Amino acid sequence: MTAPLPRHVAIIMDGNGRWAQARGLPRVHGHEQGAESVRKVTRMARKIGIEVLTMYSFSTENWNRPRDEVAALMKLLHRYLKDERQEMLDKGIRLRAIGELERLPKFVRVALDAVMKITDRPGTQMTLNLALSYGSRAEMLGAVQQLAQRVQRGELSASAISEEIFAEHLHTSGLPDPDLLIRTSGELRLSNFMLWQLAYTEIYVTDIAWPDFGEREFRAALDAYGLRQRRYGKTGDQIQAGSA
């Protein structure tokens, strides 16, 4: 029996800077090589039938990095959007972005909005979801504030707020929660990423730095996921009985 594929894979792409420094290269070279890994993994995910692929591309904390590195990352993101636009159209990939997008430079926002608009059409095979200027605590705080305003306006009672309604006010509204989280470069933390959405997500950590992560490494993560038993609080016997 073929192992089930995750519907939604989320990736914390870590290790670009360290990969470059270990080779005596400027950190930006690691980010450039990491962009190639994004292309490889995105193409494979679409080909094998992953519905949603979320890439943690730039966190709210990343704004604290050296100004020249942030500027280089924004230019790299802009170039990626221009270079990949046609392939997204040809391959039926819908681009989506989550985070405090208003903090991005205007030239990046314009390119991002254009690609999201042109790829948002019927018949798409996969959603590529970029987490940009994203922080999960800020996302959840924003959801709480929106709900409080609705309660204050009388549109919603506090007792009616459910997990489903709360999730509708998150940036990921309309997307399934991730089934699999991949983190590269061996770090064992969530880094303020999708803290609500990852409640029952299977986690896979590899020591491989993101610039060295390609199709073989992605397949290894998917194979490991296929061996997991997702119990959601139940026992293994209950899961087996339910599938019999």
- Active-site residue, from 62, 177, 192, 212: 62
Q: Specify whether 14 is catalytic.
A: yes
DSSP string, the chain: -PPPPPSEEEEE---HHHHHHHTT--HHHHHHHHHHHHHHHHHHHHHHT-SEEEEEEEEGGGGGS-HHHHHHHHHHHHHHHHHHHHHHHHHTEEEEEES-GGGS-HHHHHHHHHHHHHH-STT--EEEEEEEEE-HHHHHHHHHHHHHHHHHTTSS-GGG--HHHHHHTSTTTTSPPPSEEEE-TT--S-TTS-TTTTTT-EEEE-SS-GGG--HHHHHHHHHHHHT----TTS-HHHHHHHH-
User: Integer distance in angstroms from the first to the last C-alpha of the chain?
Assistant: 14
Q: Catalytic annotation on 192?
A: no
- The pairs formed by 172-176 with CB atoms below 8 angstroms and a separation of 24 or more are 172/98, 172/129, 172/197, 175/8, 175/52, 175/54, 175/96, 175/127, 175/129, 176/7, 176/8, 176/51, 176/52
Catalytic annotation, residues: 14, 62
